[in-house]
Amino acid sequence: MEARSTSGSMRRQVALRKARCLLVLGLAGLLLGRSCCFAGIARLQTLRGGPLRRFAEGSGGAGAGEKVPLSELAVGQTLQGTVIRPFSFSGVFVDVGSTATGFLEYEEIVDGFTTRKDYKSLMKGLRVNVRVLENDGQKLYLTRRTGDIARPERFRKAPTEELIAAFKGISPADWIEGPVVGMNEKGVWVKLAPPGGEEVRSLLLVENFSEGFEKDVTPGQMVKVRVTAVDVPQKRVFITMKAASEKEEAF
């Protein structure tokens, strides 16, 4: 009887040791799994430019809420951002992880002429690649265009009847030249000046583009246009890139 009791006690001790070993192995597996999980998340965030990027790269660890100072963003620098919201068909606000929200103007959304469809495609939450177009220390302007980022000075001068009336002396057969200084869904803004007069903005409508112009137009590009009509009370100068008809030439 005593031998049987001793044998049973030994079996219980062996079983207890096995149970402890299994428990230790289970805990080790759980910890290892959590470690792999966190490493995977950090790697994913690194690839996507997320808040764990610096931590995963071993650079000291930036918190999820940390913002890059505006002073650290250089013109031409490529960034990844998230569309926050559109702004009255003038452009969209983009979060690029900076202390200042970036603004992507309508004419900077795509290469060539920006259509309404292009603008509408920038929905809230969309991830976009952008470049720093302008950084004056307070405002951050962005672009999605490729190529040169040199742009003409922004021109928003309000026209007066006197300035518009000066264009009435230009024949519809004459060509004048000016730079593209903006866009909207209806066309491109061109900065023009009559002989001896001051500059104003005139909207070149899409239907008055020359063939293929919409594919290559870019802010700052010089274009030649004709003045087809002048509406002084409405403060508008109507222009076209198309050649004059026989009727216009006779006029």
Residue 156 in any domain: the answer is no
Q: Of the residues 143, 177, 200, which one is the last residue of a structural domain?
A: 143
Under 8 Å between Cβ of 101 and 135: no
Q: Are residues 42 and 88 in the same domain?
A: no
Instruction: Assign 163 to helix, strand or coil.
Output: helix
pTM of the model: 0.70
Q: Using one digit for the tens of pLDDT, what is the confidence trace for 9-44? A: 666 665 666 656 555 555 555 444 544 444 444 444
pLDDT at residue 230 tops 50: yes
Looking at the structure, tell me whether residues 48 and 79 fall in a common domain: no
- Domain range for 174: 161-250
User: 130 and 211 in one domain?
Assistant: no
Tell me, yes or no, whether 52 and 120 share the same domain.
no
Residue 148 lies in a domain: no
Which backbone phi and psi does 37 adopt, to 5 degrees? -60, -50
Residues 172 and 111 placed together within one structural domain of the fold:
no
CATH number for the domain harbouring residue 79: 2.40.50.140
* Interval 200-223 mean pLDDT: 96
Is the residue at 22 inside a domain?
yes
| Nearest-angstrom CA–CA distance, 226 and 185 | 21
Residue 224 lies in a domain: yes
Query: Could you tell me the sign of the dihedral formed by the alpha carbons of 214, 216, 220, 226, in that order?
Result: negative
Please indicate, yes or no, if residue 122 is contained in any of the structural domains.
yes
* pLDDT tens digits for range 81-126: 999 999 988 999 999 999 999 999 999 999 999 999 999 999 999 9
